[in-house]
Amino acid sequence: MLEILIYGAVSSAIYAMLAVGFTLIFGVARILNLAHGAFYALGAYAAYAFTSLLHWPLFIAAPLAVLLVALFGVLMERFLVRPLRYSQLAVLMITLSVSLAVEQGLFITFGSEYRNVPSFVADKISIGGVDIGGQRLLTLIAGVLVLLLLWLFIQRTRLGAAILAVSQDPEAAQYMGIPTNRIFSVVMAISAGTAALAGVLVSPFLTVQPTMGLLPMVKAFAIVIVGGLGSIPGSILAALLLGYSETIVAYLISSSWTELVSLVAVVITLMIKPSGLLGRRAAF
Amino acid sequence: MKQLSIVDLSGAVVVVALLALTPVLLNSNYFTGVLTVCVIYAIWAASWDFMSGLTGRENFGHSLFIGAGAYTAGFLATVWYANPWYSLPTAVVVAIAFSLIVGFPTLRLRGPYFALAMLSASAIMQRLCLIFWEYSGGEEGLYGLDPLIQSPLHYYWFVLAILVAAVAILTALAQSHWGLLLRAIRGDEATCQAAGINVTFYKIASLTISAAFAGLGGALYAHYQLQVSPPLFSVVVSITVIIMVYVGGIGSIYGPALGAIMLTLLTELLRTFGEYRLWVYTLTLMLILFLLPNGLIAPLWRRLTERFR
């Protein structure tokens, strides 16, 4: 029972980190970023390259990986997405092609084999009789901290207020003197950075390979649909729901059925409440 | 609604004749095979264009229907040992069933839900193929399908005939009152609803038609490769089809079909690039997105034939 509680919390934290970035960039900039999974994979591969290949100390490697991916995201938004924002299809196409290009790039540079990244925390920690790898616990703590910081940033700072304003009405925000384009860049950096952080944190205990980004992105999308497109509290709630239901399904039935959980969740949400749990707008 | 002109018809006849005669002149089984794949991709691209090009609801998981059709053919051949000719109608039925299952919950909705739902549905189907490997053959997929027609050249002509029929049917539908409604939905869905058009019905019906042809193409592909495997469901297949449609000119049906043939031939020429092939593809797409937002083939054809109309 405690096992489910702890492992469910860990996967929820990973999903929440991914989904919050996905929903943030959609809510603020209306960009459906299909390259979000690529950011996650890039983060994991950067961690692999810096620690396993270059043997840099962790406290440099991890932040640098996150920063580099955030920069990549900002450049992508500025030079590839922004010129095509007139059409939603073009944005979907360009982000999808970036994601394919990244996947192929990783495949060409690192090959298709699974890569191992050394654990940041090697010890196992026992909580109430349940052994849990230190790395998973670190992921959980870091995930909660990041989400908390993000929430404080958006609710308490001027920049956060500007982000909220743009998400409510980009034109009105622009008239009030908020530089919307710069806000898009900031949000893209946050979004890519959190996805990369998730990738860095999970790299020691999940498989690192070029296509690793696709399924988490599909999950992030499922969470965002269930939580309500554009709503951050909604996606955190949905991440908890999905993370726990997957863990429960894995324990009670079989781990091969977990993939179905997100699909079923999406279908049920779309049929019963298409705007999602905490969606602000109705979807139709 | 514009009618088909003599110019368009004669253009079509010339292209089809060229396609039908090229393998006879080259007389190489390898090249006939390449052309067969070209034509199957053309069926997929044309079927994608009918739903997504006309209504503007982008389907990012066309591989769901392609894979469903191909796996239907695979199961029929390896589990039930059925006559291979049964697999074409069965694949169509299965693909239609899939389109209804996905279409009903998602096509009622506005915005990007449909694109994302299709993308995830195809990704999840690919995973399921690997998870239930006892039934689906896992990574290796299903082997030992029988060819529909023994001679590669005759099979190529058969597939080409299906492409011509598919493009003719889809173009006829697109030019009809029905097609006009679909275009109107792309223009302004709310206005269509206000005008008393059952928007959801038209969207789902057009997805069903699109899926039927995609599934048919999938079964044809399975009987060409004589095996099916999970990558048929992959996002790469969907995006390849979408790139072909983009190159051909979205919304014109014949453009995407020709775009598919052109790009598949190009891919064959790029075979020496090996791993870099998909990069070349992605780069092509980015260039087209920035330089030719209306595509290449259909706008070019319209420009060339302008003076004869």
Work out the end-to-end distance of chain A between its first and last CA atoms, rounded to an integer number of angstroms: 40
Cβ contacts of A93 on chain B, cutoff 8 Å = 242, 246, 285, 289
What percentage of chain A has pLDDT greater than the value 70? 98
Nearest CB among A34, A256, A263 relative to B131 is that of A256
Tell me what pLDDT residue A179 has: 92
Q: What are phi and psi of A127, to 5 degrees?
A: -115, 115
Tell me what pLDDT residue B47 has: 95
The answer to the question of residue A111 being in a domain is: yes
How close is the nearest chain B Cα to the Cα of A227, in Å? 13
Of A91-100, A256-265, B6-15, the range with the lowest mean pLDDT is A256-265
- Contact by Cβ (8 Å): B230, B126: yes
Q: What is the model's pTM?
A: 0.83
Mean pLDDT computed over B263-277: 77
The answer to the question of residue A255 being in a domain is: no
**For residue A145, what are the domain limits?**
2-210
A90 and B285 within 8 Å at the Cβ level: the answer is no
pLDDT band at residue B100, thresholds of 50, 70 and 90?
very high
- Contact by Cβ (8 Å): B41, B244: yes
Tell me what pLDDT residue B107 has: 81
Tell me what pLDDT residue B156 has: 92
The answer to the question of residue A32 being in a domain is: yes
The answer to the question of residue A194 being in a domain is: yes
- Give the chain A residue nearest B59 (alpha carbons): A89
| pLDDT one-digit tens code per residue, A15-50 | 999 999 999 998 888 888 989 999 999 999 999 999
Nearest CB among B113, B242, B279 relative to A104 is that of B279
Q: What letter represents residue A37's amino acid?
A: G
| Number of structural domains in chain A | 1
Q: What topology does CATH give the domain B6-308?
A: ABC transporter involved in vitamin B12 uptake, BtuC (1.10.3470)
- Tell me the residues of A at the B interface, defined by beta carbons under 8 Å apart: 32, 34, 80, 83-84, 87-90, 92-94, 96-97, 100-101, 104-105, 107-108, 214-215, 218, 221-222, 225, 229, 256-257, 259-260, 262-263, 266-267, 270-271, 274, 283-284
Q: What letter represents residue A118's amino acid?
A: P
B121 and A225 within 8 Å at the Cβ level: the answer is no
What distance in Å separates the CA atoms of residue B135 and residue B126, rounded to the nearest whole number?
A: 13
- Residue ranges with strand state E in chain A: 124-127, 130-133
B60 and A100 within 8 Å at the Cβ level: the answer is no
B18 Cβ neighbours under 8 A, 6+ residues apart: none
Nearest to A117 by CA among A181, A180, A61, A183: A61
Q: Where are the domains of chain B?
A: 6-308
What distance in Å separates the CA atoms of residue B240 and residue B123, rounded to the nearest whole number?
A: 15
What distance in Å separates the CA atoms of residue B222 and residue B202, rounded to the nearest whole number?
A: 30
Nearest to B70 by CA among B151, B153, B142: B142
| pLDDT one-digit tens code per residue, B219-235 | 999 999 888 988 899 88
Tell me what pLDDT residue B1 has: 42
